[in-house]
């Protein structure tokens, strides 16, 4: 078989592989989110919850408790999801039993 | 105000929305960051998985590498660019880096092998159902040594020339041609095994 033939033959065989649009597993999204937040924290605190709300973002019930507490901006900047069971479940399960409104980990499950 | 936490997954959003999202991620807003991840993860996952199939064990690591690289590069994201294309451009580099590493690592054992016999082999029979044919291609690739599979994908799916592959891996063009010849021979043999 000539070189040209096998080049054409393999080219035809592999050209049929079309890229299917696939959703990333929600557990992967959860782990990516946690990893990206950790990276963001390496260069200083996150934007505070007050700033998130001012930008029009909704926050979960736990974050709301912190946001309305009479504490300084600095106390509203930590990544509260770090200590939340929703994060742990979402990072390990693709259909985690979590249902809090405005929780990013719940949104990954539904996205 | 924009709709909170309900991500419109995988769809392209308007340029103004993209600029808003990028600015908020750079300001380290946690909710915007979640939206950024939800959007990019679907794009990246499809792209990387397709390029590594049937070997998918490394997909999640590469998706994470690409996402973190995209975030690090966000300050250079231009207002007139499309976020999806920009992110996938970064993913393409990550996948090529992976191909390059794996093919380069295969170098020492490959160089010791003698050149394959260029036997006259029958053409692959035409399969009427292309989906079945693609399944068979996947199954055959899964049986090959990884460097062979990646070399075939790079050459015949992505259309890289042997010269480009040589430049990218630091190997000689001759070495790449030998690698491809071995990969094709292996593929043909395995192709028949899969049929049985």
For residue range B117-161, what is the model confidence (pLDDT) as tens digits? 554 455 566 566 777 888 888 899 999 999 999 999 999 988 999
Task: Give A105→chain B minimum CA distance, Å.
Answer: 8
Assigned domain for A20 exists: no
pLDDT given for residue A93 in this prediction: 95
Assigned domain for A38 exists: yes
All residues of chain B having their beta carbon less than 8 Å from the beta carbon of residue A9 are 123-124
Query: CA-to-CA distance for A101 and B107, rounded, in angstroms?
Result: 53
Assigned domain for A6 exists: no
Assigned domain for A65 exists: yes
Query: CA-to-CA distance for B11 and B43, rounded, in angstroms?
Result: 9
Q: Please report, rounded to a whole number, the percentage of residues in chain B having pLDDT higher than 90.
A: 60
The SS3 call for residue A1 is coil
Between A and B, how many residue pairs show a Cβ–Cβ distance under 8 A?
140
Closest residue on chain B to A34 (Cα): B34
Q: Which residue has the higher pLDDT, B101 or A15?
A: B101
Instruction: Kindly list the domain boundaries of chain B, sorted by start residue.
Output: 15-103, 125-195
**What value does the mean pLDDT of chain B take?**
85
CATH of domain B125-195: 1.10.10.10
Assigned domain for A51 exists: yes
pLDDT given for residue B9 in this prediction: 39
Query: CA-to-CA distance for A45 and A43, rounded, in angstroms?
Result: 7
For residues A72-97, give the mean pLDDT.
92
CATH architecture of B15-103: Orthogonal Bundle (1.10)
Q: Does the distance separating the beta carbons of A56 and B2 come in below 8 Å? A: yes
Report the predicted TM-score, pTM, of the whole model to 2 decimal places.
0.83
All residues of chain B having their beta carbon less than 8 Å from the beta carbon of residue A102 are 4-5
pLDDT in tens, A5-41: 788 888 888 876 667 788 999 999 999 999 999 999 9
- Indicate the number of domains in chain A: 1
pLDDT given for residue B126 in this prediction: 58
């Amino acid at each position: 078989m000539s070189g040209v033939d096998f080049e054409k033959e393999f080219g035809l065989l592999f050209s049929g592989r079309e890229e299917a649009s696939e959703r990333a597993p929600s557990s992967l999204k959860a782990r990516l989110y946690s990893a990206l937040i950790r990276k963001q924290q390496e260069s200083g605190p996150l934007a505070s919850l007050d700033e998130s709300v001012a930008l029009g973002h909704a926050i979960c019930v736990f974050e709301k408790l912190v946001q309305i507490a009479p504490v300084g901006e600095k106390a509203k900047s930590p990544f509260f999801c770090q200590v939340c069971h929703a994060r742990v479940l979402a990072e390990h399960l693709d259909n985690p039993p979590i249902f809090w409104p405005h929780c990013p980990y719940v949104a990954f499950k539904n996205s | 105000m924009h709709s909170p936490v309900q991500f419109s997954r995988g769809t392209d959003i308007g340029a103004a929305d993209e600029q808003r999202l990028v600015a908020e991620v750079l300001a380290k807003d946690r909710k915007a960051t979640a939206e950024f991840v939800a959007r990019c993860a679907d794009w990246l996952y499809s792209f990387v998985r397709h390029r590594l199939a049937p070997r998918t064990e490394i997909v999640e690591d590469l998706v994470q590498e690409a996402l973190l690289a995209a975030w690090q590069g966000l300050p250079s994201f231009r207002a007139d660019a499309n976020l999806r294309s920009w992110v996938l451009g970064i993913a393409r580099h990550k996948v090529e880096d992976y191909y390059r590493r794996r093919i380069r690592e295969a170098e020492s054992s490959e160089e010791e092998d003698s050149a394959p016999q260029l036997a006259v082999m029958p053409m692959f029979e035409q399969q009427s159902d292309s989906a079945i044919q693609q399944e068979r291609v996947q199954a055959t690739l899964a049986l090959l040594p990884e460097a062979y599979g990646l070399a075939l994908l790079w050459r015949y799916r992505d259309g890289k020339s042997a010269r480009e592959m040589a430049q990218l891996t630091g190997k000689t063009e001759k070495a790449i041609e030998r690698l491809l010849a071995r990969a094709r021979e292996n593929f043909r043999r395995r192709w028949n095994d899969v049929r049985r």
